[in-house]
A and B are shown apart, each in its own frame.
Chain A
């Protein structure tokens, strides 16, 4: 009788623990990507059950040069700060502010907090993930900068990138990535190099 009760307790504990572990809001989602430059002009994407035509990616187009206003130290370190509480991104070179932008971070999957490093950059790539009504499959995701760190492996597919499928910046709207307006992602992409540091925080983790 005692063994039976113990067994029941263990099973119940496993079920409760499993439910908490897999609770979608808290779990970092996987963002499927081949981690390569992938240009698929004319191929439709899917987001929230809606088909959407991605922007045309022209690899021959010359990107505008980026410059910090005023005098800047060219050897000063660049850093990117992401505040989840205010849904804002700030990029600095030394003490000089390069840009500020409203962003959209995790709603259907959590955006990790901590110290990260950009490990690869692609002008366009494909991203997919989610399930059911949250399924997405998006070609030509523009100006993608994958990052890893703070216990989050590169293979998880977290990135800063332009988002052409919504326009609700300043509010959570992603599966864990950092969505930016294409115009802002382009500016950051042309300024930030691989190995650039990113700090992601919210008011609680500050």
Chain B
């Protein structure tokens, strides 16, 4: 009886050794990624870089995002070229929000720029200076979409397209109840809206 048990145990050990050995020696599929599971706190990973340039080529912009577990930190640098880049803005947002640099971001005199902040249920536009100096006393940035919503509740901003003048941001709207709305200018120094008689397509 005891002899039979020893035999079974021996067979089990031999079988396990053979299976284990085969698993160890079996060729791994080429190119299969070896995954590492990190159980410690997630380390930030670099993401694609967004770039833009002013219309005269004098100011270059670079925006990077660093992803954390729940939040993303967005950093914007500006300068004549990469060597002269200075950090002018950074913000940490929840993961469902994204930042982007519109094509016509920089004002014609290179004094201001605007950024687009998109979320699942709202879009915000931030205006700041290209130098990184506060845009108003004790105010680093101006956000005008929220102000527009309270002043013109019958319209919703569809897109801020660029600068209609040195300090005038152009944006189009739709009517809340449906249909196309008018275009507006947002005058940065006075923080006021100017309703336009014709639409900027």
Taking CB atoms and an 8 Å cut-off, the chain B residues in 40-79 that contact chain A are 53-57
Count the A-B residue pairs with Cβ separation under 8 angstroms: how many? 72
CB of B130 within 8 Å of the partner chain: no
| Given known A164-B55, A181-B56, contact A48–B164 (CB-CB < 8 A) | yes
Task: Give A109 to B163 CA distance when docked, in angstroms.
Answer: 19
Interchain residue pairs A-B with the least CB separation, the first 7: A168-B162, A183-B57, A181-B55, A167-B163, A182-B56, A167-B104, A167-B55
A107 touches B166 (CB 8 A): no
Closest to B57 in A: A183
B200 touches A169 (CB 8 A): no
Task: Give A102 to B200 CA distance when docked, in angstroms.
Answer: 15
Task: Give A48 to B54 CA distance when docked, in angstroms.
Answer: 21
Interface size class of B (residues with CB under 8 A): 20 to 34
CB-CB under 8 A from A107, the residues of chain B are 198, 200
| Given known A107-B200, A164-B55, contact A52–B164 (CB-CB < 8 A) | no
CB-CB under 8 A from B177, the residues of chain A are none
| Given known A52-B108, A52-B109, A53-B109, contact A167–B53 (CB-CB < 8 A) | no
Contact segment of A72-80, A115-123, A170-178 = A170-178
B55 touches A169 (CB 8 A): yes
Task: Give A181 to B52 CA distance when docked, in angstroms.
Answer: 13
Taking CB atoms and an 8 Å cut-off, the chain B residues in 106-153 that contact chain A are 106-109
Q: Give me the interface of B with A, judged by CB distance under 8 Å.
A: 53-57, 103-104, 106-109, 161-168, 170, 198, 200-201
| Given known A53-B109, A102-B103, A171-B170, contact A166–B164 (CB-CB < 8 A) | yes
Task: Give A47 to B106 CA distance when docked, in angstroms.
Answer: 18
Give the secondary structure class of A's interface.
loop
CB B168 to nearest CB in A, in angstroms, measures 8
CB-CB under 8 A from A165, the residues of chain B are 108, 165-166
B163 touches A168 (CB 8 A): yes
Task: Give A186 to B163 CA distance when docked, in angstroms.
Answer: 21
The number of chain A residues with a CB under 8 A from chain B is: 24
Additional A-B contact list (14), CB under 8 Å, known A52-B108, A170-B104, A170-B161: A55-B56, A102-B103, A164-B56, A166-B164, A167-B162, A167-B163, A168-B200, A170-B162, A171-B170, A171-B201, A172-B200, A173-B200, A181-B55, A182-B56
